[in-house]
Structure 1
Amino acid sequence: MSGLRPCSAETLREALELAWRANPTLNAQRANLGATAENLAKAKAGFHPRVSAAADLGLYRDSTKPSLDDCSRPFVGDTLTNAGCDPYTTKTTPRGAGVQFNQNLFDGFRTTNSVRQARSQISAAEATTRSVEQNTLLLAVTAYVDVLADTAIVSAAAKNVAALQDQLQQTKARHSYGDVTKTDVAQIETRLAAAQAQHSLAIANLEGDVAAYRRVIGIAPHHLQAPREVSALVPAGLEETVELSLAQNPAIHAARFGIDVAVLQTKIIRSELLPNVSLTGSVIRRYDISSSGDERLAGAVTGQVNIPLYDGGDVAARTRQSQFVSTQRRLEADSVRDEIRALAEKSWNQYQGARQRVAAAQVQTRAATIAVAGIRSEWQFGERTLREVLDAQQDAVNARINLVLAQRDLVVSSFTVAQATGRLNLDELAKFDLTAPQSGAFAIDRERISLKLWPRTGKGESRPASGSGCVTDCTAFASGWSLRGQAEPRVAENPTASREPPARPSLYDASARISAWRSAFPSKPMPGKSGMTM
């Protein structure tokens, strides 16, 4: 933990390493593993003798005053009983020290079974720790990819909203001159409202992704680089995936060791019905026992046999209870095995489906881009309707979003297969490059997207220059795919108040980024000449 520093993870590998070191859930499980490991030392203590030492020190004082009769008879025969009838006092310091030991000779195999149970508990805790580690790494991958995917979706939605707002302004201007009808204005207003709803939903999803990223990895996302799938950890066939999962998944191992722990607990309880044999010894030395100067040394060795005869049915009841727990653990192990099998089959099929979806989405994106350009050109010559242009533009946006989601599912499903087969750990991942080329699906296209269809040009008329662009910068608030670290300027509430393009933000903090996206496209009503509101 001393090597951690409060920096921003840029690559997936750095994010995984940070989650592996600092995730509180994983560290709590590691602490639990350390506590469980001490059960072995506790169990082995039953084989060793128990030795204790004790010492005591006291003060004894005896003061005696003779009676008057004793004073009148100083001699009893030839013995002097009193001299002067003065009281006399006896003082001693009784003290002693001793050592005692107790050695277990036979306890009905309780200690032996306790040692075996402790080892099974440690193995189960180690397997559980590996399972929690895999779950944490998968959560980190999911959070990382979700931030990238939803950032790209927000970018696509923001470009769509900006382009439609620009087009709506131009359409209203043309409507004031009588070149278009209210229907044309209403069509764009409808598409703009839908685009704004899609944009708001994308921002809300991104906010949730940022919170999940911070919860799992521990920091806010910054400068994230696009990851790639770990295809090398995906078996070639479904049967091989299932076999590896059933053989290597740590959750199954933990469940099996849990069965061993429950079975051994039953044996430990049954050992209480067997005799116990022990050896006890002690050595004691004492001084001033009855008078000053006395001394005594004593030692003893005792063998003891304890045979239980009747306990009121307590051991039998606890034995039956433990047997039910063993049955429960076996059924739970079957359930875990079924869950892992289902996870392996599902994740492998999802990975194969995601590969096909990515390929299809790439074709869809290229075709949609070509269709938008062609339909826009045909519309300018009067061969297409405005609705066809808007449909084509929406198809292009949807194709882009489908590609992002397919790429996201491809990455996450590959790591899920690695988790199911028990190979999602930093040692395995260190063998592969986890960073994808910047030209991947998560890289946001910085080219301007414009729906500048007005004024329409007739056949033989010159067309606008290709670099004329939008009235406003359509990519100002979604120009990069990573989250930003600096505050960004907010634009005016009224989008018609200024035609100056907003300043391009630098690399960001999540909150400032989302705030800028929200302020860029306000949801306040904008009445138009058509009588409809946006």
Structure 2
Amino acid sequence: MTFGYKRFCVSGAIAVSVLVSSASASWAENLADTLVAAYKHSGLIEQNRAVLRAADEGVAQAMADLRPVLSWSAGVQRTFGKARNYQQVATLPDFPFTPIRDYRTTGFASHEATLRLLASLTLYAGGSNRLRVEAAKETVLATRADLLAIEQQVLFRAVGAFMEMRRAYDTVALRQNGVRVIQQEVRAAKDRFEVGEVTRTDVALAQARLAQGESALAAAKGQLVIAQEEFRAAVGRKPGNLQTPKGAPRLPRSVDAAKKQAVRSHPDMISVQHQVAGAELAINIAEASLKPRVTLDGSYGVTTDDDDTNRYTRSGTIGLNATGTIYSGGKIRSAIREARANRDRARGGLHVVRHAVIQNVGNSYVQLDVARASREAFEAQVRAAQVAFRGVREEAKLGARTTLDVLDAEQDLIDARTNLISAQVDEVVASYAILASLGQLTAEALHLDVPQYDAAEYYNLVKSAPSATSKQGRELDRVLRAMGKE
């Protein structure tokens, strides 16, 4: 064995070890930075914030139904036409009973202007108006939970994009190093072939392994580009020098405790619970249609004659009116049955969501256990592959091993390190998947440095349906201008 081959073996082993160990040392941006950027960039979160504000307005509109309604009406009316009249001017002398008539046609026209103020207040409607307020509040609470679920989706996608970038970076680094090592092996095989130490077969084997390594490197680079595109889509910018997460997030120790926590706090559970409550209220609203409706109505108006400004009429009315349905063709009863069916559907949805949440927690813990076991197994494989590579390399120096044996041992080491990188990535992703299954993958729970969206602020401003001229209405206008929504 020549000195050049010994030098190649030593330098190749050092290159593999140094490059792999330093692949993650050059990362600078941590996972929290990526999550902050994704949170600020997400149009999906902004979209669902608008959905929540629309739900808040539902409470304001329901509150408005409890108040008097003031309106006005105005109109101008022109009446015109012709009239034909006659009068008796004489009688014939021979026929005293036959009058002589004079027919005359006259035209007429008049103009009237009317202005009326109308007021109406619902005194009793079977409680439906107040029930609508409560139903709208349940919709708001369900929509808030939906917003948290969307936030979890955005942040979990960012976690996946971050870790896939780490997987792609390290895989490319390993493949590049493997190609460099095999290139050195090809050169060494050619040198040994020229001096007669090996056959042309050894050179061909090294060249074939080089082509295989270059193919794997091309695939790894392609995966890196794909990971970069996903990162840009999820985070809103190109990835920087990403830093490997230093530790896993804190998780409940037992699966049973995690399942109980998820049932209590997962946004999907909270949302469907409020949907059930809203469906219950919808039944009461439908049943209120069977009860009478009592309103207090009033009006006041002025009617003037444009032809004679001194002629006008002022009048007003006030009355207490009651209405009720005697027969509606079965429509009201059908609406009640429909509301009950929707309530049953919501209850069924609660049952389905509860089991899905529990299942997701269990699956996430299994995936984490598998990832941890895989990482530990691949760590052991890397240690064994390192020992095997060193042994094969030393045996090759003594002529007991062939070039193919060295290449195979080297490939086994690279594959083991690649599998270890993937297992480490899968373990981190599985940890955050558990957080998402618990409903804890939110900006607040993770203590991210982002401007917190106060869901109650807008609700408190609009829940009482303020007028544009009130103090609360002016404050609402200020908030909307600050949000860029007006």
Normalised-by-shorter TM-score class: 0.7 to 0.9
**SS of the residue aligned with 2:65?**
helix
- Evaluate the alpha carbon distance shift between residue 187 and residue 215 of structure 1 in structure 2; reply closer, same or farther with a 3 A threshold: same
- Evaluate the alpha carbon distance shift between residue 300 and residue 149 of structure 1 in structure 2; reply closer, same or farther with a 3 A threshold: same
Deviations 1:131-156 (A, max 9, x none): 11011111101101110111101111
Deviations 1:304-337 (A, max 9, x none): 2221122222233333333333322222222222
Contact 2:79-2:109 at 8 Å conserved across structures: yes
Distance 1:180 1:368 in 2: 25
Aligned equivalent of 2:210: 192
Distance 1:143 1:331 in 2: 35
Q: CA deviation at 1:424?
A: 1.4
Q: CA deviation at 1:62?
A: 10
Q: CA deviation at 1:91?
A: 9.5
Deviations 1:347-384 (A, max 9, x none): 22332343343344334323423432332122111132
Distance 1:214 1:348 in 2: 29
Contact 2:36-2:448 at 8 Å conserved across structures: no
1:416 to 421, 433, 458: 433
Matched, 1:379 2:374: no
Deviations 1:97-146 (A, max 9, x none): 32111111122322122111101110010000001101111110110111
Distance 1:48 1:187 in 2: 89
Deviations 1:128-187 (A, max 9, x none): 000110111111011011101111011111211222233224323433544322432343
Aligned equivalent of 1:41: 60
Aligned equivalent of 1:277: 294
2:174 to 138, 152, 156: 156
Contact 1:289-1:295 at 8 Å conserved across structures: no
2:352 to 327, 335, 338: 335
**SS of the residue aligned with 2:318?**
strand
Contact 2:126-2:293 at 8 Å conserved across structures: yes
- Evaluate the alpha carbon distance shift between residue 409 and residue 102 of structure 1 in structure 2; reply closer, same or farther with a 3 A threshold: same
Write the letter of the residue equivalent to 1:40: V
Distance 1:61 1:168 in 2: 110
- Evaluate the alpha carbon distance shift between residue 335 and residue 294 of structure 1 in structure 2; reply closer, same or farther with a 3 A threshold: same
Distance 2:297 2:214 in 1: 85
Write the letter of the residue equivalent to 1:97: L
Could you say what the CA RMSD is over the residues aligned between the two structures, in angstroms? 3.1
1:1-12 to structure 2, matched below 5 A, reads 10-12=29-31
Matched, 1:125 2:150: no
Write the letter of the residue equivalent to 2:243: Q
Matched, 1:216 2:234: yes
Q: CA deviation at 1:32?
A: 0.9
Aligned equivalent of 1:366: 383
- Evaluate the alpha carbon distance shift between residue 68 and residue 44 of structure 1 in structure 2; reply closer, same or farther with a 3 A threshold: closer
Contact 1:171-1:180 at 8 Å conserved across structures: yes
Contact 2:45-2:151 at 8 Å conserved across structures: yes
Structure 1 window deviating more from structure 2 (91-100 vs 105-114): it is: 91-100
Deviations 1:426-472 (A, max 9, x none): 2332389xxxxxxxxxxxxxxxxxxxxxxxxxxxxxxxxxxxxxxxx
Q: Which has the higher helix share?
A: 2
Distance 1:348 1:61 in 2: 86
Write the letter of the residue equivalent to 1:330: R
Aligned equivalent of 1:349: 366
Contact 1:93-1:292 at 8 Å conserved across structures: no
The count of aligned residue pairs is: 408
Q: CA deviation at 1:67?
A: 11
Distance 1:369 1:415 in 2: 32
Aligned equivalent of 2:70: 51
Contact 1:9-1:15 at 8 Å conserved across structures: no
**SS of the residue aligned with 1:120?**
helix
Distance 2:200 2:279 in 1: 77
Contact 1:229-1:412 at 8 Å conserved across structures: no
Structure 1 window deviating more from structure 2 (200-209 vs 129-138): it is: 200-209
**SS of the residue aligned with 1:349?**
helix
**SS of the residue aligned with 2:325?**
coil
Give the alignment's TM-score, normalised by structure 1: 0.69
Matched, 1:23 2:42: yes
- Evaluate the alpha carbon distance shift between residue 108 and residue 256 of structure 1 in structure 2; reply closer, same or farther with a 3 A threshold: same
Contact 1:241-1:348 at 8 Å conserved across structures: no
Write the letter of the residue equivalent to 1:430: H
Q: CA deviation at 1:292?
A: 4.0
Give the alignment's TM-score, normalised by structure 2: 0.76
Aligned equivalent of 2:417: 400
Write the letter of the residue equivalent to 1:378: E
Aligned equivalent of 1:425: 442
Structure 1 window deviating more from structure 2 (127-136 vs 189-198): it is: 189-198
Contact 1:95-1:288 at 8 Å conserved across structures: yes
- Evaluate the alpha carbon distance shift between residue 247 and residue 209 of structure 1 in structure 2; reply closer, same or farther with a 3 A threshold: same
Q: CA deviation at 1:48?
A: 0.8
Uncovered stretches (5+) of structure 1, i.e. residues with no partner? 1-7, 71-87, 433-534
